Structure 1
Amino acid sequence: MAIDDDFDIPETGAVFTFGKSRFADNAPSKFWIKNDVITKVSCGDEHTSVITETGRIFMIGSNDMGQLGLGNTNPVNKPSCVKALKPDRAVQVACGRSHTIAACESGAVYAWGHNGDGQLGTGVLGDSYHPSLVLQLDQPALAVAAGSTHSILLTSNGELYVWGSNDVGQLGLDVDVQLVPMLMTLNEPIVAVEAGYYHTLALTDVTHWYVWGRNDFGQQGLDADVQLGPVLKTLKEPVFAVVAGYYQLLLLDESSANNYCGVSGMTKFGHAGG
């Protein structure tokens, strides 16, 4: 593995990073995993996770709340393997503000890091420096998503589980805090899910999606500042990709025109916003 500009990029590819960092102030950088291919990437506030072709998870960044899952709180400036998960094969990973969720090929779902609001889903509060088992499914999870203090899991049969803080309706439930995964009751199966800092999106098909949670910057495209329960919305064009940010929601349709809601600006949507 490497993070050195003097090295040539290997045939297996590299991850390029930009932005402010404790290790390299606003300096572009890159890294790769030796003899392996990085297939998925997720970023939290100050930490990053990648999954490789062989199903290993590597972490890098801040670790003050154990969000790297390495058994300590030491920051890491080179990709480090989460050895506790090596016996299994990771298929999905999501970084929240200071916690991480991972789903494995065996159907096991793990979480680690900050747990002041139940975002790890273990039934108790308190940070975890090691991966903790959250759920054991019959099939690998289709997707995981993590916000600031809440977590989302999408099963292979379209069921949606949510847990963590619900202080601004980000879980879509009638609770303040959910310490273990709770199955949401929706009218149709879900095919994709995304979590912003305090809002959530769930696609039911290519033109219909539910949104709920915080909306004070218009990140859901609704009128109310807070949406406590799921609201169904419809798009004219089929959507094939969705991304949620701190105060944003971005959907990419087949006409290559981005549909987005929330705070806009050049750093968030690639063009000057209004």
Structure 2
Amino acid sequence: MSSVKQISTKGSDVQKFFNASNDLLKDVKTVFVFNDINNKMNAFLVTNDDKTYTFGGNFFGVLGLGHKNPIDKLVLNKKLSQISLCDFRYSYQHCVGRTADGKVYSWGYNKFGVFGDNRRNDSLHKPKLNKYLKHEFVVDISTGFWHTLALTCEGRVYQFGDNTLCQMASGIDSKSISLKPKLLDAFDGERVVSISSGAFHSLALTESGHVYSWGSNDCGQLGIGKVPAIRKPTPVIVMGLKVAKISTGFDHNLLLSREGYIYTFGCNECGELGQTTKTTEQYLPIRLNHSERFVDIESDNSYPFSAALSESGDYYVWGMSRQHDIHELNTKPKHCKAYESFIELFLEEHRITQRAVHNFNGNKNLHKRLSVQLSHQINISADNVITK
């Protein structure tokens, strides 16, 4: 049994922990923070010696410890240690991790086949390697509510999980569950370079800048008009549009063009499209009316929230922001105070990192912001120690 200094949540004690030279976080290289469906913070911390620690609400067992009990102190997750974890994704009931050598692990709740391990059950699982993808080098992963996508270095897209709303696409029975990864070969011969999943739909971006969508379309999240759910990847067509980046929200989407314009479509009940229109459903992409051009976009597939970075280095947010449990609604882009990254923005506005944070110790602001979030969410006494 090893012990490390504890995290206290009392103001200066938190900051002292994050600043202390001998504390664990001084050795952390990657951090991933997310809120579960009970709005409880959860986190994974990977150290330079490749040990993975975790704590949080653990609803549905999303910490990968084999149970669903809340964890109020950092615990070593042996199954996620010494495997070179470099990326994480969280969904409604499970997490997916990707390693530096392109392997995929899943853990949490597997009722809908989201592990892709040819099994479906209600039990809570510790992290498990996806043996069906072990011969592929996976470079990106994306999770919807009950489905998972994996993108390989050669541009192949695999999918597994629930298909009730056509999330699986490409000829799979609309009511079935895909228990093993299935290759999605439906992009007109184009190489896919990016994937992004909403709750019940998905997008893929090709090397030539084309976007494909499939899945649920109840509020226009496919961007192809007012049609039923689609089980085959279908081109999202805007005349002359070449896309540089895609980002999905719960049931809305952002597209960033190579010229720096943002297009949005899907649900707009909380202003997440950033449009002046009062419609709650947008079935075709529409360009964001803004004087600036943009270089990056980001959204959250568990919440109606959108963010963008302009060419001038300014951050903008719209939709529903969740600041210290106060829900603030912005129906058009709102200029934010200065941030150094989307990670800082999401920690402040949304209490999550959204993506895995690398070079964590190279950014003092991230230390500070994360310590504040810990003080709001985690109840760890000054006498508790990190064990096993």
Q: Report if TM-score (shorter chain) is over 0.5.
A: yes
Q: Which moved more, 1:110-119 or 1:31-40?
A: 31-40
Aligned to 1:80: 182
Q: Is the 8 A contact 1:160 1:183 kept in 2?
A: yes
Higher-RCO chain (CA-CA 8 Å, sequence separation at least 6): 2
Change in CA separation of 1:256 and 1:69 when aligned onto 2, cut-off 3 Å = farther
Counterparts in 2 of 1:153-168, with a 5 A limit? 153-168=255-270
Deviations 1:160-199 (A, max 9, x none): 1100111110101123121101111223222221112211
How far is 1:70 from its partner?
A: 2.7
Q: Based on CA coordinates, which of the two structures has the bigger radius of gyration?
A: 2
Matched, 1:147 2:249: yes
Q: Is the 8 A contact 1:162 1:182 kept in 2?
A: yes
Aligned to 2:139: 39
Aligned to 2:363: 255
Aligned partner of 1:21 among 110, 122, 146 = 110
Aligned partner of 2:218 among 91, 94, 116 = 116
How far is 1:207 from its partner?
A: 5.2
Distance 2:379 2:247 in 1: 27
Distance 1:242 1:137 in 2: 35
How far is 1:234 from its partner?
A: 2.6
Q: Which runs of 5+ in 2 are unaligned?
A: 1-78, 84-98, 112-119, 381-388
Counterparts in 2 of 1:1-274, with a 5 A limit? 12-22=101-111, 23-24=120-121, 25-27=123-125, 28-31=127-130, 33=133, 35-71=135-171, 72-73=173-174, 74-85=176-187, 87-135=189-237, 141-175=243-277, 176=279, 177-196=281-300, 197-204=303-310, 208-215=314-321, 217-218=322-323, 225-235=328-338, 238-239=340-341, 241=343, 248-250=351-353, 255=363, 257-258=365-366, 272=378
Q: Is the 8 A contact 1:118 1:124 kept in 2?
A: yes
Distance 1:144 1:204 in 2: 16
Q: Is the 8 A contact 1:158 1:189 kept in 2?
A: yes
How far is 1:157 from its partner?
A: 2.4
How far is 1:242 from its partner?
A: 7.0
How far is 1:114 from its partner?
A: 0.5
Change in CA separation of 1:148 and 1:204 when aligned onto 2, cut-off 3 Å = same
Distance 2:346 2:276 in 1: 23
Q: Which moved more, 1:70-79 or 1:172-181?
A: 70-79
Change in CA separation of 1:95 and 1:56 when aligned onto 2, cut-off 3 Å = same
Distance 1:104 1:137 in 2: 16
How far is 1:30 from its partner?
A: 2.1
Distance 1:273 1:94 in 2: 34
Distance 1:146 1:230 in 2: 17
Distance 2:159 2:259 in 1: 29
How far is 1:115 from its partner?
A: 0.4
List structure 1 segments (4+ residues) > 4 angstroms apart after TM superposition: 9-12, 136-140, 240-245, 251-254
How far is 1:149 from its partner?
A: 1.6
Give RMSD over aligned pairs: 3.5
Change in CA separation of 1:95 and 1:137 when aligned onto 2, cut-off 3 Å = farther
The count of corresponding residues between Structure 1 and Structure 2 is 259
Change in CA separation of 1:191 and 1:14 when aligned onto 2, cut-off 3 Å = same
Distance 1:98 1:69 in 2: 11
SS in 2 for 1:85: coil
| Structure holding more helix per residue | 2
Deviations 1:130-160 (A, max 9, x none): 1111126768632211112211111222211
Q: Is the 8 A contact 1:107 1:137 kept in 2?
A: no
Q: Which runs of 5+ in 1 are unaligned?
A: none
Change in CA separation of 1:127 and 1:173 when aligned onto 2, cut-off 3 Å = same
Change in CA separation of 1:240 and 1:200 when aligned onto 2, cut-off 3 Å = closer
**TM-score, with structure 1 as normaliser:** 0.80
Q: Which moved more, 1:164-173 or 1:21-30?
A: 21-30
How far is 1:205 from its partner?
A: 5.5
Distance 2:161 2:346 in 1: 21
Change in CA separation of 1:45 and 1:265 when aligned onto 2, cut-off 3 Å = farther
